[in-house]
Amino acid sequence: MTTAPRSSAADLPVRPGEEPWTEAELEEVRAELEAEAAGLREEIGQAESQIAARLGDAVAEAGDDEADASSKLFEREHELAITRNTRELLEQTEHALARIDAGTYGVCESCGRPIGKARLLAFPRATLCVECKQRQERR
C-alpha cells in the first residue's frame, strides 16, 4: 500500500502578518490530529460495545416498571447521541488530516482565503476562516 503524498509546510497558506508554517509545526498538528483520531476510534468502539450490551439486556428488562424503562431508554438515547457526536468529530479530524496530505489545509472551504495559522493551531479541524465561520453562525 502506498501512502498519500504529504504537503510541504511552506506551501500552506497563512494570513498577512503570520509566519509561514514550519515542518515541525505541521508535524505537531498532524500528530495531534492522528492521536485524537485514534482516541475517538477507541471511544466509538467502546460505546458501540456498551450500546450492544444494553440492547441485549432489553429482554431481561422486559418486566421493568414504566419509570425504569423510561430511564433506561433515556440513557440509551443519550449514549447514541454522544456516539453520533464522537463520529462527527472523527470525520472532522480525518478530513483535516486529508487536507494536510492534499495540501489544502489552511484554505477556507467557503471563500478560498487562508484560514489563519493561529486559528488552526488553536482549532486544527477548522475548515472556515473566522469571517466565514461568523457568517455561518449568524444564519
State the average pLDDT over residues 58-79.
Answer: 72
Higher pLDDT, 63 or 21: 21
pLDDT of residue 51: 77
d(CA 89, CA 33): 11
pLDDT of residue 123: 95
Backbone angles phi, psi at 115, to 5 degrees: -70, -40
Residue 104 has pLDDT above 90, yes or no: yes
> Contact, 70 vs 85, CB < 8 A?
no
| Alpha-helical segments (H) within the chain | 23-56, 66-102, 117-122, 130-138
Half-sphere exposure of 70 (CA within 13 A, CB side): 3
State the average pLDDT over residues 44-49.
Answer: 88
pTM: 0.79
State the average pLDDT over residues 28-32.
Answer: 97
pLDDT of residue 69: 72
